[in-house]
Amino acid sequence: MNKPIIRDTGTLDGVPYVRLSDTGNFSVFKTFDCGQCFRFDPSHREGEPYAVSGVAMGRHVTFREEDDGFTVVGADEKDFHTLWEKYLSLDVDYGEIDLAVISALDEEGNAVMRRAAEVSAGIRILRQEPWEALCSFIISQNNNIPRIKKIISALCENFGELTIDGRGKAFPTARALADAGEERLFELKTGFRAKYIADAARRVADGELDLDAVVRCDSYAEAEAELMKIRGVGPKVAACALLFGFGKTEAYPIDTWMKKVAARHFKSGPDPLKFGKYAGVAQQYLFYMERYMGGGEM
């Protein structure tokens, strides 16, 4: 696999940027449009290249598509190599992953996966901070993306600290939300999720749940069991958190979209175990294919 090449660096209105090429088939649009993170929104003007802006890793950042790569606004060369290259999974060979998921099933299933990989080319699994991913997917329960974003924005505005660059609010720490308490969280229209957020925050803040230890778990079942000790965290929320925040790419979240995929495209299955350590990538490809080819709205 080729490593991204830094073509240009500089500042734009006092904000550093890095322009990259040879980034494979990485797509800013697809990666940030498949429901895996909730703090980014489109930020380009009409007629300009597609861009999203938001907060991650305690920093405000913009990712903008270019003809031969993309630009990161809000980062210098060091930031790219130490933070964003890994965050965007640009250090992972997705060509190898595509071959693995396409060939994992029987002939019929392989044809479906080939189409899913083609439609979804450019998606990367983001490596988000574990606490943010866990809390975000607790909030996602029985919810839609606009409302999830609104709740998370309210939490950040009320309990988040200023980003390192001072251009936004970082995701609140577990201690901040634990100290806020269930009643205050409920006031921010989190609904029934307030008690689940409060329980998760308390466990993490008090050290009862060690998120770093969950990251290090060799067994997916063990990692899942640790997260499911939290009130309101079942297999689906745990799978989303583990996939998008803990590096467990074998996680395979099953929701209504994936049930549609199974019913529409497979006689039985697919069996996530056959995808092995890339089940989560296969899930994202199938989800994206169903969302666009099925004509549904999130």
Catalytic residues: 236
Residue 11 CA to chain centroid, in angstroms?
A: 28
